[in-house]
Amino acid sequence: MPYNISVAMCTYNGEKYLKEQLESIATQTLLPNELLVCDDCSVDDTLGILERFSLNSPFQVHIFRNDKNMGSTKNFEKCVSLCTRDVIALCDQDDVWLPEKLEKIISVFENLPSAGVVFTDALVVDEELKPLGYNMWESTNFTNKEKKDILNGKPINTLLKHNVATGATMAFKSLYRDRFFPIPANWYHDAWITFVIALYCDLRFIEEPLIKYRQHGAQQVGGIKNENFSLEKGFKNTREYYKKEHEHYIVALNKIIELKDQVASSQEIIKLVRQRVDYLQLRAGPPKMKTKRLIKVMENLLTMQYHKYSNGFLSAVKDLLFKP
């Protein structure tokens, strides 16, 4: 079936790079049907650039200015809610799309009707769009095993470890929108959308960089390349970090329980998420009594939680040496 496309773009003081992004959308080999823009109270020429672009755009452009600053997650939630087409492609203000991005994404939806989310790799570039020598998936450490899990219908195994679908590269079917609303404040919008839709249907990816993902000082989340494993890296995450992650997955667990009657294999997924929650609780604050701490650490070593989600034995040693 043919799919109509909405592009959901959020802007905030984006005048420096916005023109290039808009031009890259307007020169797609498959044009979207509409561009929805929610501006989060910009004080530069962002709105002027958008309005001038809309005058000669090859597709409909709808511009909305927030009455107050909402922040990235809630701004994207609003923008997605305003989209009217079958497929919604998320869009940042500072990247550049390669010409065949939308065409190749839509081709996946057409060839695999069970897909709910399609995402791509990205070429990581500097402010002047010069390649930095690596792609996004190298930055996020999207492994071959994780790719196989996704292709074999087990995306939750990967998403419980980390989000691999960067919002600027992804598109999803709008029919799932009501199921992931509202987007929790302690989740990034792209991670939450991907996680919830993965409960219902397939994820698919394109092993090709289809955007230039620009790195600059004003970014909220960048694509910094991971360093090689080191002792320092193994000990870097703080108890506060794990407390936040614990809260993060408590929200996910409650959502799955809420949707369990709609989700195939919901009991198995709930079990996996509960394991993740329990593990994060351990990392956030191991038991003060040494015997109980040793038992908890050994349990999580035997179930491979340390190896799946952290740095294996190194992380276990960290928790054994915990000082209350």
pTM of the model: 0.92
**Are 80 and 8 spatial neighbours (Cβ–Cβ below 8 Å)?**
yes
Q: pLDDT confidence of 234, banded at 50, 70, 90?
A: very low
Domain ranges of the chain: 5-214, 231-320
Whether the pLDDT of residue 194 is over 70: the answer is yes
Q: Quote the pLDDT of residue 229.
A: 38
* Neighbouring C-alpha atoms within 13 Å toward the C-beta of 67: 0
Whether the pLDDT of residue 232 is over 50: the answer is no
**Are 172 and 197 spatial neighbours (Cβ–Cβ below 8 Å)?**
yes
- Mean pLDDT (the chain, rounded): 93
Whether the pLDDT of residue 218 is over 80: the answer is no
Q: Quote the pLDDT of residue 322.
A: 80
Task: Tell me how long the chain is.
Answer: 324
Q: Quote the pLDDT of residue 263.
A: 93
Q: Which helix (H) or strand (E) holds 65?
A: strand 60-65
Whether the pLDDT of residue 233 is over 50: the answer is no
Render pLDDT for 111-170 as a digit per residue (tens, 0 to 9).
999 999 999 999 999 999 999 999 999 999 999 999 999 999 999 999 999 999 999 999
Q: Dihedral angle at the C-alpha atoms of 293, 294, 297, 303, nearest 10 degrees?
A: -130
Render pLDDT for 73-116 as a digit per residue (tens, 0 to 9).
999 999 999 999 999 999 999 999 999 999 999 999 999 999 99
Tell me how far apart the alpha carbons of residues 124 and 121 are, in angstroms, rounded to a whole number.
9
Strands 131-135 and 87-91: unpaired
Tell me how far apart the alpha carbons of residues 76 and 83 are, in angstroms, rounded to a whole number.
11
Whether the pLDDT of residue 294 is over 80: the answer is yes
Both structure tokens of 127:
């402010």
Both structure tokens of 11:
């802007």
- Between 3.40.50.2300, 3.90.550.10, 3.40.630.30, 3.40.30.10, what CATH number should domain 5-214 receive? 3.90.550.10
Which letter does DSSP use for residue 227 in this model? P
